[in-house]
Structure 1
Amino acid sequence: MEARSASPLAGLKARLRAMFGGGDDASLTNRLAGTIFIIRVISAALAYLSQVLLARWMGGSDYGIYVYVWTWVLLLGSLLDCGIAVAAQKIIPEYRAAGADALLRGFLSGSRWATLAASAAMALALAGLVRLLSPWIDPPTMVPLYIGCLTLPAFVVANTQDGIARSHDWMRLALMPQFIIRQSLIIGFTAGAVVLGFQLGAVAAMVASCAAVWIAMAGQLIALNRRLKAVVEPGPKAYEFRAWLKTSLPIMMVEGFYLLLSYIDVLVLQHYRSAEEVGVYFAVIKTLALVSFIHYAMSAVTAHRFSEYHTSGDKARLAAYVSHAIKWTFWPSLAATVVLLAMGKPLLWLFGPQFVAGYDIMFIAAIGLVVRAAIGPVERLLNMLGQQNLCALAYALAFAMNLVLCIALVPRFGGHGAAAATSLALTFETALLFWITRQRLGLHVLAFGKRG
């Protein structure tokens, strides 16, 4: 009896060991993606905790100002690296494969100095714009906006270092500073202020957040430089700023349209419907965020390997790796979606009893996420293989479709219309990316179906 019961357990252990414990690229990818997924889940929990605590400590008005400014920091900070963070996962493997050590050394340092200079200049310009628009800005928002501008350079450099670390498979070094350490510092600094008896307003919260961003970035900088010294020989440096921008700017457009595609449903809903309905919809989207984390994890792990295999001309290995990445995006995403939909009502109830009204919206929103997962991290594949312009065009068309559908559906159907518009746009984007990859690269990028 014990032997029979142990046999299935032994078989499960063997399968898990094969999936995660091997030395091949597939097993390494699974381990790294699992690490990233765990980090993102812990980060989401910390972010949720920090928002709850800040809302309780600050009060509605100051908390609203803080969220407004911090959202701008997140949006602009994700764009002001000009796509260099993602482009690093293409440029670094190409330099390594070509033996271009001087260019590699130049990129590892020059990319960070360039993004620091560009983001600092933009932060100064934005501070000037805030000053120019001060007659039309609510006075309590002015100082937090200035602090937000001060935060941007460190935020952007941290993103660039994230891309460099990912290109070397140093996923904990890439993500821990931004997603775990930064969040923990924000909680620690604001909690310390409250314990010491200070009034925690929007200004104090932004100061704490700014300090957390700079400290986390500086620690990551020291650790990254130390690890790079062990793998990159010292020597002369060469710089190809124009070539870097030629690669990165279309990628920046992809990331920009992705952000717009992610936020436009909430923004349009906020324009046409009540704050309560926006809150319910936002709770639905946050509840389904776990599905997106799987796609994010696989994208973060695979990008530089796509570039590496393409540069080496190993088409068979590239095709096999793409297939593996797609399967490990789609099937876990599908499983997570089923679990979240099954537990949807109690999960939404955690936000408050009134949020359960959004349960049926979950099913509409989940369709787009599952459809999109069926082609895996194909946008990273296109970006790494020189098709970033077409990828940007696909995202732009999907964003335009989402905007038009939201304007058409949200006034009448509210959150249901926003979810339907986004799912339709994601389905259109998926079909377009599938077709582009098939035509330009000759690869079948679907989790199922014929591969020939």
Structure 2
Amino acid sequence: AFGGSKFFTIILNAIAGRVLGPAGFGLLGIASALAEVGKLVSGAGLDFLVAREVASEPARAPRLSHDVALIKLLNAAGVYILLALLVATLDYPPVLLPLVLILGSALFIENLSDLLDAVFQGLQRMRVTTVAFLVSGLVLLGTGSAALLSGLGLRAYAMCFVIGFLVRFVVMFIAARRAGLIELGWRGIDRVESRRLVLASLPLLASTGLALIFHRMDLLMLGTLETTAAVGLYTAAVRVIDSVVLVPRVLGTALYPALRKSLQEDPVRARALLTESSRITLTVCSGIAVLVWVLAPWALSVTPGPEFVAAADVLRLLSFGIVLQGLAHVVARLLLAIDAERDFLGAVSVALVLNFALNLYLIPRYGLLGAAWATLLANGVSGSLYLLAAWRRGHALAWRAGIGGPLLALAVGAAVSVPVDWPLPAGLRLVLAWALVLVLSGGLRLTDLSRLVDLLRRRPSGTSQ
């Protein structure tokens, strides 16, 4: 469902890029990044706890959804007031403030939908989420396309996100209401329970919020150091990356329930599951990275449009970070499964400071490529810190049987793709080197496809030994 919704977004980006051009697309990218930070800070962490507690005690779903919705409302009010002051204070174009507020409203509605999604996840009723995602994506595609092609401007286009996310919320609200999972009316907040929820979610809230700022640091800093047209080019590359990193997110989400259960019941089986799943995830991510590198000019010409092909080098550089993001997703799920949220927070905090410093140094000197290098280097440090945290907890990821093959294959492929006077084209050199090293190192095996399907179907027995 999320993949289908993403596909609709890709089509919408293709239209937006052609209609708005690099400058308009850049403004939209900065506004989206700021609004996304507000969404995460106002509600992240709570949904994870709701899903976990509803799974344990389904009868608590109505009270939990009521209290968490009120907490999110209060958080969002404070966060978006601060964001508005930040945008007004910094050297951003005046048109950015209304865009941030409109998109912030849309993402607050999405935040409420995520709460209901967490309730349904806890009860393992995913059909409602599937329908809501697809209907919302179709509505957003239809209204957004109409607003863009009619020349109504950025504000009208941003309002389409409010409409699309509202449709998703209404679908999920009706389903939850019929299932008796929510109650209407004002009941007040259970202060003791709400305080417990907020305190329990703080490590995860802080780490996920900082992680989003980490992943949007390049866009946020480019918005103050470069022109909006330059930010538009960079945003185009980032949107392509965002579309494909859906894969490690889905794999990480599918891995989490089986991994947590295995860690509690059979640590030996859990280690085998983690080794095999991490290798398969990184193999898939490295293949996607190679594909994005080779098809970068074509991908940008299709979405968001021919004007953005100039960002091909940026996209190629960012593509190597897909594997690092895949690694981070796997290890982050491991840290959450062993209740090591504080280690997760520490790693993200260090990586965020480094990312800020690298962007501050590299963007004035190398422009868009500097931002891409800063992001890539910070992703490498972030993944290394995650691995270190897992090792300290006694859950080191296997190198030879696990993550080593895919990482080595992509590193060798990247090394031979540098622009030198060799007989073969750079893309072909990259593909051949990656495939050869991947096979020789054992990173790719004949049974991987069936095990990948087992993982996605949450049948961990097929991903063992």
Q: Distance in 2 between matches of 1:123 and 1:251?
A: 17
* Alignment partner, residue 382 of structure 2: 429
Q: Distance in 2 between matches of 1:253 and 1:358?
A: 32
Q: 1:165 aligns with which of 111, 116, 120?
A: 120
Structure 1 residue 183 corresponds to structure 2 residue 137: yes
Structure 1 counterpart of 2:135, one-letter code: I
The 1:298–1:155 alpha-carbon spacing in structure 2 relative to 1, beyond 3 Å, is same
Q: Is the 8 A contact 1:257 1:395 kept in 2?
A: yes
Q: Distance in 2 between matches of 1:278 and 1:134?
A: 16
Structure 1 residue ranges without an equivalent (≥5): 1-35, 96-100, 230-237
Q: Distance in 2 between matches of 1:430 and 1:304?
A: 22
Q: Is the 8 A contact 1:369 1:426 kept in 2?
A: no
Q: 1:79 aligns with which of 32, 38, 41?
A: 41
Q: Distance in 2 between matches of 1:61 and 1:275?
A: 5
Q: Distance in 2 between matches of 1:58 and 1:372?
A: 30
- Listed one character per residue, the Cα deviations across residues 78-116 of structure 1 (whole Å, up to 9, x for unaligned) are 3322411233454445x3xxxxx3xx422x223321232
Structure 2 counterpart of 1:76, one-letter code: G
Find the residue that maps to 1:323 and give its secondary structure.
helix
Structure 1 residue 343 corresponds to structure 2 residue 295: yes
* Structure-1-length-normalised TM-score: 0.72
Offset at 1:427? Answer: 1.0
- Listed one character per residue, the Cα deviations across residues 345-384 of structure 1 (whole Å, up to 9, x for unaligned) are 2223334555434333334323332234246521122123
Offset at 1:391? Answer: 0.3
Offset at 1:419? Answer: 1.5
Offset at 1:415? Answer: 1.9
Q: Distance in 2 between matches of 1:241 and 1:118?
A: 8
Q: 2:338 aligns with which of 357, 366, 385?
A: 385
Pairs within 5 Å for 1:196-211: 200-201=152-153, 204-211=156-163
Q: Distance in 2 between matches of 1:56 and 1:172?
A: 35
The 1:57–1:345 alpha-carbon spacing in structure 2 relative to 1, beyond 3 Å, is closer
Q: Is the 8 A contact 1:382 1:437 kept in 2?
A: yes
Q: Is the 8 A contact 1:57 1:200 kept in 2?
A: no
Pairs within 5 Å for 1:28-427: 39-40=2-3, 42-53=4-15, 71-93=33-55, 95=56, 101=57, 104-106=58-60, 108-125=61-78, 150-151=105-106, 153-171=108-126, 173-174=128-129, 176-178=131-133, 180-189=134-143, 200-201=152-153, 204-224=156-176, 240-310=193-263, 312-350=264-302, 351-353=304-306, 355-374=308-327, 376-427=329-380
- Listed one character per residue, the Cα deviations across residues 189-236 of structure 1 (whole Å, up to 9, x for unaligned) are 4567799xx98355544544323322311211333465687xxxxxxx
Structure 2 counterpart of 1:163, one-letter code: A
Offset at 1:157? Answer: 1.4
Offset at 1:297? Answer: 0.7
Aligned residues: 393
Q: Is the 8 A contact 1:290 1:336 kept in 2?
A: no
Find the residue that maps to 2:381 and give its secondary structure.
helix
Q: Is the 8 A contact 1:329 1:376 kept in 2?
A: no
Moved more, 314-323 or 127-136: 127-136
Q: Is the 8 A contact 1:406 1:417 kept in 2?
A: yes
Structure 2 residue ranges without an equivalent (≥5): 182-189, 406-463
Q: Is the 8 A contact 2:38 2:76 kept in 1?
A: no
Q: Distance in 2 between matches of 1:307 and 1:192?
A: 45
Offset at 1:392? Answer: 0.8
Q: Distance in 2 between matches of 1:147 and 1:289?
A: 22
The 1:109–1:316 alpha-carbon spacing in structure 2 relative to 1, beyond 3 Å, is farther
Offset at 1:67? Answer: 6.5
The 1:390–1:202 alpha-carbon spacing in structure 2 relative to 1, beyond 3 Å, is same
Find the residue that maps to 1:79 and give its secondary structure.
helix
Offset at 1:166? Answer: 3.4
Q: Is the 8 A contact 1:166 1:301 kept in 2?
A: no
Q: Is the 8 A contact 2:76 2:108 kept in 1?
A: yes
Q: Is the 8 A contact 1:120 1:152 kept in 2?
A: no
Q: Is the 8 A contact 1:325 1:376 kept in 2?
A: no
Q: Is the 8 A contact 1:375 1:445 kept in 2?
A: no
Q: Distance in 2 between matches of 1:207 and 1:194?
A: 11
Structure 2 counterpart of 1:263, one-letter code: R
Find the residue that maps to 1:80 and give its secondary structure.
helix
Find the residue that maps to 1:386 and give its secondary structure.
coil
The 1:166–1:303 alpha-carbon spacing in structure 2 relative to 1, beyond 3 Å, is farther
Q: Is the 8 A contact 2:22 2:228 kept in 1?
A: no
